[in-house]
Structure 1
Amino acid sequence: MVKFYSYIEDEKLKFAVIFAKNDGKFVLCKHKMRDTLEFPGGHREPNEFIVDTAKRELKEETGAKDFTLEPVCIYGVEEGDGEETYGMLCVADITSFEPFDSEIEKIVITDTLTQNWTYPTIQPYLFKELKRRNLL
């Protein structure tokens, strides 16, 4: 279950997920070890601001060179043990790319979103929240 928050203490945020677009199209990532697609994003490094996590992950996973990035909201995901983990959902507009080398095999720039999500219990709900906020 995914919940959305306007505020959670910064130190509790463990992840950043970025809903990215390029020329009005969705930018998705395909990990080398998976057959699914996902929004760019990842884990926060020690002592890193969460917005810096989002910027770093966007660059590492898409090769984004020039972009704007804005935080949208905090999301929470309940783990199997009932504990909730938190992340920052951001939006980005990528205007240029550069070559990159990471765990991502390729980026997919598309007019339509996939039904083959890496995290099907999370990613569609993040998309719905962005749609609800008129951020698409």
Structure 2
Amino acid sequence: MECKIYPLNELKEYKHVVILSKYKGEIMLSRHKERSTWETQGGHIEKGETPLEAAKRELFEESGAVKFKITPIFDYWVGDDNSGGNGMVFMAEIKELVDIPNSEMQEVKIFKELPKNLTYKDITPVLFENAKIWNSQDNH
């Protein structure tokens, strides 16, 4: 699986959103009920939704975040020789959490750095690394 990064709004037809979440200054990841690995919040954009609307919905559904600041930071493409899809990556600063709604996610956990047991080990580190690059450019 390959992950390519693009400037925000360069890709058009978006299929997915990914949210890189921070809570109390640390990385917050979710664990799916059927897996023992950790992942970012995110998912498919539903028909009629904007990427921002999808990101807000997925963030709540997969983490229980009810108060947050969410910002789009860049576009990405993930795929292989046979298929792939465009997405938009968001950064979320979470201020308040409630229990995760009844969804596919079992729990959320806070990490000082990305754990080794990631669901999407070829994708998640690339997105976090590029988020640092984009954030440092925004601060100059």
Q: Write the distance in 2 (CA, Å) between the matches of 1:101 and 1:119.
A: 23
Q: Write the distance in 2 (CA, Å) between the matches of 1:73 and 1:133.
A: 8
Q: Write the distance in 1 (CA, Å) between the matches of 2:84 and 2:106.
A: 30
Q: Deviations over 1:67-121 (max 9, x none)?
A: 000000100012341x431111000001001122211100001222111110111
Q: Is the 8 A contact 2:68 2:96 kept in 1?
A: yes
Q: Aligned letter for 2:11?
A: I
Q: Aligned letter for 2:18?
A: V
> What is the total number of aligned residue pairs between the two structures?
132
Q: Write the distance in 2 (CA, Å) between the matches of 1:17 and 1:112.
A: 18
Q: CA deviation at 1:26?
A: 0.8
What's 1:78 paired with?
79
Q: Write the distance in 2 (CA, Å) between the matches of 1:39 and 1:130.
A: 13
What's 2:70 paired with?
69
What's 1:111 paired with?
112
What's 1:8 paired with?
11
Q: Write the distance in 1 (CA, Å) between the matches of 2:128 and 2:112.
A: 14
- For structure 2, the 5+ residue unaligned runs are none
Q: Percent identity?
A: 36
Q: CA deviation at 1:8?
A: 1.1
Q: Write the distance in 1 (CA, Å) between the matches of 2:122 and 2:129.
A: 12
Q: Secondary structure at the match of 2:55?
A: helix
Q: Is the 8 A contact 1:79 1:85 kept in 2?
A: no
| TM-score with structure 1 setting the length | 0.92
| TM-score with structure 2 setting the length | 0.89
What's 1:90 paired with?
90
Q: Write the distance in 1 (CA, Å) between the matches of 2:44 and 2:81.
A: 19
What's 1:34 paired with?
35
What's 1:124 paired with?
125
Q: Is the 8 A contact 2:39 2:124 kept in 1?
A: yes
Q: Write the distance in 2 (CA, Å) between the matches of 1:92 and 1:121.
A: 21
Q: Aligned letter for 1:17?
A: V
